[in-house]
Every structure is written in C-alpha cells, then in structure tokens.
C-alpha cells in the first residue's frame, strides 16, 4: 500500500487499487477487478440523535444496491476525531452478485447538530473472507485533511504514518497479497469519468450554495436544512425556518447564502 493525498482526504491505497470518487463529502477506493470497495462519506449539520443505522442505510443506498440488509448495530472503535461509533454487518446484491462487508457510523455531537461519517468495506461475498481481516481498517484510515470536508472545518485530523491500526492493516494486507495477489496493473482501465457529479450527489446528499463573502467556489452543504447563513470567518449555520435570522443576539455578521445556479 502507498499513502496518497487528494484535495479533501488522505488515504492508504492498496496496490492496484484506484480512487473511484473524491468530493467534499465522500471518497471511495476500488479494487482493480472491481470486486471490492472502501468508502467514507459524511455530513456535518445532522440532527442530534439521528439514528446511526438509518444514516448507514441512506449512504449505502447511494451506491444503488439491491436487497440491502443491515445487521444489528454494536458499539465500535470510532475513527479519529469522533467519540462514538456503531458498526453493522451489511449484505446486498449488485448486478445479481451477492456482496457483503461491514459499515461503521462514527458520530460527533455539537451544540445543536452532529457530524456523522460512514466508513464501509465491502466485497463480493466469494472474496470477503480474504478481505475481512484488513480491509475495514483501511477504510477507517481515510482521513479528512481539508477543513471543508463534510461541511465542517477541522474534522478528523489524523496522521496515517503514525497510526498503529494502519500498520496492522498493512501487515495483514501484505500477508494476503503474497498469497493471493496476481498481476492487476493491466486491469486498470479508463475511469469513464466515474460520473463524478451524480455519484457525489448520491453519496453526499448535497445541495450547492454561493458564499456572499467569497463567490469564487460554490459550497456543497447537506440537505439537512433548507436555508443557510455564513459569517465572514466561513462559519455556517442552517435552519428550516425562512424567517430565522442568526444576526439577532449575535456580534457576527451573518448573510444568507443563495442557491448556486450553474452557468
């Protein structure tokens, strides 16, 4: 495996794997034979006490599986930067082929909202036995390095190089690779552009707004609220109340963000 860094995330990329999609709210890594995948997808501004199982279900449905089944959740080790997590066994069909794996929902609460992140590792059911010992740890090592990831700044700062979990995953991967890995470099095909926008919308569940203080780059925000305001420091608050005004009782200068309309 090698360490890599994109615009929003750092991650460990197994030999022969490729980045399937990277956006502000999601990153996926895909095996060369397309028979295994890891994904991280998250949203800030979620309602407090939003059910972790429901969040996992909604995000996995963004991958368009058939007959998705999610097991009973249980407490698990959260990814870095989060105090709590719940893990679920998952199974579904894709193009008639059974897949299975695990998905974890890590949760960090705030005053009136929560940030929720799903990390998932799945493979064709016939191959899951080879992946189960190390692939979930690789999924957990995906790290947000850009403060804009998930619509929240400074979430999940993490040092992959010093991570003992990553080291263990890498060791198990090497053991597996020596026994099972075959030449895959010739299997790298064109990405077909991966339908970037559609996948990001499906996985992230986003809506796009313009920042009145800096309209150079549109902001992708979750669908949790209908209306959003931003201050000069880039802090964002949301509400479903069209008459809400965060300037009331505040020393900041909040301005409502209009919906972005592509040219």
pLDDT in tens, 122-173: 999 999 999 999 999 888 888 777 666 665 544 333 333 334 555 666 666 6
User: Nearest CA to 48 among 103, 105, 108, 106?
Assistant: 108
State residue 224's pLDDT score: 81
Is pTM, for the whole model, over 0.75? no
- The count of structural domains within the chain is 2
CATH number at residue 144: 3.40.1000.10
To the nearest whole number, what is the mean pLDDT of the chain?
Answer: 79
Around 202, how many Cα atoms within 13 Å sit in the side-chain half-sphere? 15
Same domain, yes or no, for 81 and 153?
Answer: yes
Assess contact for 68 and 92: CB atoms under 8 A: yes
User: Nearest CA to 200 among 68, 62, 29?
Assistant: 62
State residue 244's pLDDT score: 87
State residue 101's pLDDT score: 96
Residues 195 and 94: their CA atoms lie apart, in Å, by: 18
Same domain, yes or no, for 175 and 139?
Answer: yes
Domain housing 168: 2-204
Same domain, yes or no, for 187 and 247?
Answer: no
Of 204, 223, 241, which residue is a domain's last?
A: 204
Whether residue 263 is contained in a domain is answered as no
Same domain, yes or no, for 83 and 151?
Answer: yes
Same domain, yes or no, for 69 and 196?
Answer: yes
Same domain, yes or no, for 200 and 223?
Answer: no
Place of tokens 């060791």: 171
Whether residue 62 is contained in a domain is answered as yes
For residues 188 and 7, which has the higher predicted lDDT (pLDDT)? 7
**How do residues 73-94 score in pLDDT, each as one tens digit?**
899 988 877 889 999 999 999 9
Around 107, how many Cα atoms within 13 Å sit in the side-chain half-sphere? 21
Same domain, yes or no, for 190 and 131?
Answer: yes
Place of tokens 């190089």: 161
């Amino acid at each position: 495996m090698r360490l890599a860094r994109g615009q929003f995330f750092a991650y460990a990329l197994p030999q022969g794997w490729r980045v399937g999609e990277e956006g502000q709210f999601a990153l996926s890594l895909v095996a060369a034979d397309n028979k295994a995948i890891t994904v991280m997808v998250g949203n800030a501004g979620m309602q407090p006490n939003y059910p972790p199982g429901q969040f996992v279900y909604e995000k996995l449905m963004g991958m368009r599986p058939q007959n998705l089944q999610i097991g009973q959740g249980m407490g698990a080790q959260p990814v870095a930067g989060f105090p709590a997590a719940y893990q679920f066994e998952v199974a579904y069909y894709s193009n008639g082929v059974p897949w299975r794996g695990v998905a974890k929902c890590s949760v960090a609460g705030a005053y009136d909202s929560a940030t929720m992140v799903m990390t998932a590792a799945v493979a064709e059911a016939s191959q899951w036995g080879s992946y189960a010992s190390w692939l979930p740890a690789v999924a957990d090592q995906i790290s947000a390095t850009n403060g804009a990831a998930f619509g929240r700044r400074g979430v999940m700062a993490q040092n992959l190089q010093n991570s003992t979990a990553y080291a263990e995953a890498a060791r198990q991967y090497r053991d597996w690779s020596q026994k099972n890995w075959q030449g895959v470099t010739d299997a790298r095909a064109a990405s077909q552009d991966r339908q970037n926008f559609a996948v990001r919308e499906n996985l992230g569940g986003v809506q796009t707004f313009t920042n009145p203080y800096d309209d150079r780059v549109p902001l992708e925000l979750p669908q949790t609220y209908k209306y959003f305001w931003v201050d000069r420091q880039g802090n964002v608050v949301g509400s479903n109340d069209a008459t809400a005004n965060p300037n009331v009782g505040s020393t900041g200068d909040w301005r409502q963000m209009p919906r972005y309309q592509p040219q």
